[in-house]
Amino acid sequence: MFARVFQLLTFSTIAVVLSLLINNCESTTLSDGVATWYGSPTGFGSGGGCGFENDVGNAVYNGMIAAGNNNIYKSGKGCGACYQVKCTEHPSCSGSPITITITDECPGECNNEAFHFD
């Protein structure tokens, strides 16, 4: 009996977490923003202030991570949130959207724009 209840609670918890992640990634609100990147073009970046450490190189993230400004990082509440971003105004942009996960905070000048991914 206890094992069955534990299985149901575990499944319910996983289902709730997955639904929150899916709903978070499926928002259709579009906004203009700014993005910067420092480091190797194929580098994984870092887990930063959210504590993801080296996990950002794992398949689930595949290095598609970013530090968000205050409006995105939200004092840590934005950790793990995902955003679909598309670069359109630079010659090296593909114009194809990618999904990124917030793993760090971008302080200072990143807050000069409403939305800034670093």
CATH number at residue 100: 2.40.40.10
3-state secondary structure of 116: strand
**Is 10 part of a structural domain of the chain?**
no
Closest Cα partner for 56 from 44, 39, 68?
A: 44
**Is 82 part of a structural domain of the chain?**
yes
**Is 113 part of a structural domain of the chain?**
yes
User: Within 10 Å of residue 26's Cβ, how many Cβ atoms?
Assistant: 9
pLDDT at 28: 66
Supply the pTM of this predicted model.
0.70
Cβ contact 35:118 at 8 Å: yes
**Is 54 part of a structural domain of the chain?**
yes
State the total domains in the chain: 1
**pLDDT in single tens digits along all 118 residues of the chain:** 444 433 333 333 333 333 334 445 556 677 888 888 777 776 667 778 898 887 777 777 777 889 999 999 999 999 999 999 988 888 888 889 989 999 999 988 999 999 999 9
**Is 6 part of a structural domain of the chain?**
no
**Is 23 part of a structural domain of the chain?**
no
| pLDDT tens, residue by residue, 12-44 | 333 333 333 444 555 667 788 888 877 777 666
Provide the residue range defining the domain that includes 105.
29-117
Q: In what order do the strands lie in the sheet with 65-68?
A: 34-35, 116-117, 65-68, 98-105, 82-85
Closest Cα partner for 69 from 81, 58, 57?
A: 81
**Is 37 part of a structural domain of the chain?**
yes
Pairing mode, strands 65-68 and 98-105: parallel
